[in-house]
Amino acid sequence: MRVAVIRFPGTNGDLDVAHVLNRVVGLRADVVWHEKFEGEGYDAVVIPGGFSYGDWLRAGAIASRSPALKEIREMASDGKPILGICNGFQILVESGLLPGALLPNDPPRFMARWVRVKVLNTKTPFTAMYNDGEVASMPIAHGEGRYYIDDPISVNAVFTYHGENPNGSINSIAGVASGDGNVVGLMPHPERASEDALVPRGHGKGGLKLWLSLKESLSRGW
């Protein structure tokens, strides 16, 4: 099972994601430069966080036009698991693979702190091992994470902020999935919440089950 972790100019979460996949959960992950990415040979893709192209135009807008997204679009339509974290979520939204938009935070500042999210949908390859309604801790670190969609009822919300809504997202939505569930994006960083050493007091490693879910889903032939 091979997972591609895509790197754009300005991506900074790539090595953390690859570390967790390779060393913590035991999947094989390669960090791939976006211009070199070919979907063939990969069973899943993670678009990590960062500031691709310096957030120019809008966060994720320029990376979403990369040829890599054509490959990812094909993989998505084949049903393969695709995950976007933070800037990766912004890229998936900008590319149209996920619905809605991510706007500057309300209140208008960069937020970097641990939050709790509730898992609403466990029928995705990234949430299969969570319990319905489970609350998981993960950190957020973003300036443009206010999820917006005209019709929030229509969206397949996977994660909502539990307790405080840190960025003004509509219906407290922190992460969404495509209709089929194989494409998932979220603003919090599960890769920074998968090892005890990184977790502050009062929180748990709420991101670990996301990666274990991917491993389990791939081994079952998702």
Pick 35 or 106: Cβ nearer another protein: 106
Tokens of 21: 């996949």
Spatial neighbors of 216 by CB under 8 A, at least 6 apart, are: 128, 129
Specify the stretch interacting with another protein by CB under 8 A; choose among 55-63, 114-122, 172-180, 198-206: 55-63
Residue 143 interacting with another protein (CB under 8 A): no
- List all residues 6 or more positions away from 151 whose beta carbon is below 8 Å from its beta carbon: none
Least CB distance from residue 92 to another protein, whole Å?
14
- Would you say 1 and 43 are in contact if contact means Cβ atoms under 8 Å apart? yes
Q: Which of residues 168-187 bind another protein (CB under 8 A)?
A: 168
d(CA 88, CA 176): 12
Q: Is 119 in the site for another protein (CB under 8 A)?
A: no
Q: According to the binding rule CB under 8 A, does residue 101 interact with another protein?
A: yes
Residues 98/157, Cβ–Cβ less than 8 Å: no
Smallest distance from another protein to CB 37, Å:
22
**Which alpha helices (DSSP H) does the chain contain, by range?**
14-19, 67-77, 87-94, 208-219
Tell whether residue 107 is a contact of another protein (CB under 8 A).
Answer: yes
Tell me how far, at minimum, the Cβ of 99 lies from another protein, in Å: 9
Q: Which is nearer to another protein, 24 or 101 (CB)?
A: 101
The pairing of beta strand 101-103 with beta strand 146-148: antiparallel
Which residues bind to another protein, rule: CB under 8 A? 57-58, 61, 94, 100-101, 103-108, 146, 148-150, 168
